Structure 1
Amino acid sequence: MDSQPSLSTSQDLGDSQLAGDSQLTGDSQLTGDSQLVDDSDPSDPLSLALLQQHPALPTPPTPLSDSYTHHSPTPSSGLPEFPGGRRRYMIGIDEAGRGPALGPMVYAAAYCPVDWEELAGLGFNDSKVLSAATRAALLSTLSSHPQHLGWSVRVLSPSSISRGMLSRPPTNLNVQAQSATVHLIRAVYAAGLDIAEIYVDALGPSVPYQAYLQGLFPQAEVTVKPKADALYPIVGAASVAAKTCRDAWMERWVYEEPGMPRSRSLAAPTAAASTEAAPADEQEQEQEQPTEHLGSGYPSDPKTQSWLATRLERTFGYPRLVRFSWAPVRLAMEKHGHAVKWIDDNQASVVRSFASATGRDKGRCGLAKDLGLRSVADI
């Protein structure tokens, strides 16, 4: 029997088969050769686990120029050559970073045999109710059972999110999220795993979304529920993978823009280093770990607002860290950026733009007419 492809790290490959070992490949290679200057507290467990060791991030750190996908090694118990026959798998899907105006949105999948009883005792849960130290430990746990437990992340860069939402017609965030979910599930199927059950944290109304996914994957039983990360440990594992990956990108962000520091990291211990779980009243909304300068990344955060106010370049806007499609960002650019007047702003109608030229415009090239160029003799 032919061997199945192993899961690996890839750029935006769509539905194509994923193969390789640990390379970043695809339609837009992550680029950059600058080194990250890590001036955070070396005893900070989050810094140790995420800044230095997160397996889903490129080493050395590079700018996040486009979306990409990372996969752990394919669990061997799901492959045909496993002693005693391969086992049927379940997969959980969750995300981190839908709401913030800064940084990537990360979708994650975790997968293991349906009958793997050890999963319940590993401590996976909704990442928002876990301390940073616990998440860091569980990140290690994700890779500690390669025979049975695997995981993948789909990292949607801020630029990709903005490009989709600002295109015509726009690709809204829900559609981008659905595409990321389907991409992850199909990649696991492509690796040769027999998926029997799919659990997804609800994205809006759960009933139509479940019907949509069930239609795409009729060979598996699909369950879409709110708070699925707290109900199903496999979704909790995906929640940890997504949250730690997004936090790592935020802490290891490498700027490409002139005038910005080439890299950023924690300047002092923050809430990200807390060893206590988040209060119950803060768990309804995903709590992005705040940093000294960026805040949580949510537009309502005063620290994030302050950062956005000081980082606007009036001609080119914001660094790639920012999602240009978010309403507060667009409004800030319209209010404080240089005004732009397009040559067709005063166009009375679309029909007039196709009308035949008359008078002095007749026979002149389009560029001369658009720019309003005239002969010196006419001045």
Structure 2
Amino acid sequence: MWTIGVDEAGRGPVLGPLVVGAVALPTADLEILVRHGVKDSKDLTDKKRKQLVDWFHEQSNQRGWKYSLIECGPARVDNGVQTTGLNLLEVELFAEALIQIRQQVDQPVHVINDACDVNEQRFTDRIAARLPQWPWKDSTIHSEHKADATFPIVGMASILAKVERDNRIEQISQDVGIPLGSGYPSDPNTKAALPNLLVDSEPHPALRWSWKTVTRAWNEKYGVDPPKRTYKDGQQKTLF
């Protein structure tokens, strides 16, 4: 029996990707995460998160642990918000991460999702409906609010997702030549950077154009709403 934890990072920021991480390991190995201090990424320093990611990759090489990361770019986030809504977009991303794990783990699994939906069972059912041949043999799936704080394996998934997102924000910051902060609208560095990302005929591609923060800033600068964004399937990355 294997256990899989799934979580996301970057649901609320005004720029950068939304990243979903999934971690899978033999259930007998779960105690190793506990002993090593794995917990919700929000309760860890940036330095500690990076150390845990390095440690996880070492353990994965030694023990055969598996993971997947689904990077959903701003264009797909905007498309999701404007069509099905953010919760259903996360359902799709969680399912994609689990499908990638399933390609690596052909064993009975117990899946634990960090639920973003107020209705945990609905979140579970929607993900399960998108998994090919579900129910998998001798496997179960459930979702909980704050699962990243309750289950270390979900915490590990949140850490992988958070560090991956932070790395992408740093890359974008280097590309544009200014500090972008965390990407959250309340971050002073993000606030200061926003006008510099609105200087062309349309908002910078790293921004989420559908966010009220962008709409308001664009309207204040140009007197009109920002242009509608187009999206083509395949504008996300999968890493595992």
- Bin the TM-score by the shorter chain: 0.7 to 0.9
**Where do residues 119-268 of structure 1 align in structure 2 (5 Å cutoff)?**
119-145=33-59, 146=61, 147-166=63-82, 170-205=83-118, 206-215=120-129, 216=131, 217-219=134-136, 220-253=139-172, 262-264=175-177
Q: Where is the strand percentage greater, Structure 1 or Structure 2? A: 2
Deviation at 1:141, TM superposition (A): 1.2
Q: Which runs of 4+ in 1 moved over 6 A?
A: none
Separation (CA, whole Å) in 1 of partners of 2:171 and 2:117: 31
Provide, for residues 111-161 of structure 1, a one-character-per-residue CA deviation record: whole Å limited to 9, x for no partner.
000122423322211001011111111011111122332211101111221
What is the DSSP-based 3-state SS (H/G/I as helix, E as strand, rest coil) of the residue aligned with 1:297? Answer: coil
8 A Cα contact 1:127 1:236, kept in partner: yes
Relative CO higher for 1 or 2, CA cutoff 8 Å, sep ≥ 6? 2
1:324 aligns with 209
Relative to 1, partners in 2 of residues 1:202 and 1:164: Cα closer, same or farther, differing over 3 Å? closer
8 A Cα contact 1:251 1:264, kept in partner: no
TM-score normalised per structure 2: 0.81
Deviation at 1:233, TM superposition (A): 1.3
What is the DSSP-based 3-state SS (H/G/I as helix, E as strand, rest coil) of the residue aligned with 1:300? Answer: coil
8 A Cα contact 2:15 2:184, kept in partner: yes
8 A Cα contact 1:189 1:195, kept in partner: no
Deviation at 1:89, TM superposition (A): 1.3
What is the DSSP-based 3-state SS (H/G/I as helix, E as strand, rest coil) of the residue aligned with 2:58? Answer: coil
What is the DSSP-based 3-state SS (H/G/I as helix, E as strand, rest coil) of the residue aligned with 1:328? Answer: helix
Separation (CA, whole Å) in 2 of partners of 1:113 and 1:213: 22
Separation (CA, whole Å) in 2 of partners of 1:186 and 1:262: 32
1:296 aligns with 2:212: no
Deviation at 1:191, TM superposition (A): 2.7
Separation (CA, whole Å) in 2 of partners of 1:121 and 1:264: 41
Relative to 1, partners in 2 of residues 1:189 and 1:311: Cα closer, same or farther, differing over 3 Å? closer
8 A Cα contact 2:182 2:190, kept in partner: yes
What is the DSSP-based 3-state SS (H/G/I as helix, E as strand, rest coil) of the residue aligned with 2:100? Answer: helix
Provide, for residues 69-115 of structure 1, a one-character-per-residue CA deviation record: whole Å limited to 9, x for no partner.
xxxxxxxxxxxxxxxxxxx2111001111001011111000000012
Provide, for residues 340-377 of structure 1, a one-character-per-residue CA deviation record: whole Å limited to 9, x for no partner.
9xxxxxxxxxxxxxxxxxxxxxxxxxxxxxxxxxxxxx
Separation (CA, whole Å) in 1 of partners of 2:177 and 2:144: 37
**Where do residues 96-135 of structure 1 align in structure 2 (5 Å cutoff)?**
96-116=9-29, 117-135=31-49
Relative to 1, partners in 2 of residues 1:319 and 1:201: Cα closer, same or farther, differing over 3 Å? same
**Where do residues 12-23 of structure 1 align in structure 2 (5 Å cutoff)?**
none
Over the matched positions of the two proteins, sequence identity in percent amounts to 31
Q: How many residues align?
A: 217
Q: Where is the helix percentage greater, Structure 1 or Structure 2? A: 2
Q: Which runs of 5+ in 2 are unaligned?
A: 226-240
Which structure has the greater CA radius of gyration?
1
1:337 aligns with 222
What is the DSSP-based 3-state SS (H/G/I as helix, E as strand, rest coil) of the residue aligned with 2:153? Answer: helix
1:311 aligns with 197
What is the DSSP-based 3-state SS (H/G/I as helix, E as strand, rest coil) of the residue aligned with 1:115? Answer: helix
8 A Cα contact 1:317 1:333, kept in partner: no
Q: Cα RMSD over matched residues?
A: 2.3
Provide, for residues 236-282 of structure 1, a one-character-per-residue CA deviation record: whole Å limited to 9, x for no partner.
1101100100111111227xxxxxx74547xxxxxxxxxxxxxxxxx
Q: Counterpart of 1:152 in structure 2: which amino acid?
A: S
8 A Cα contact 1:295 1:301, kept in partner: yes
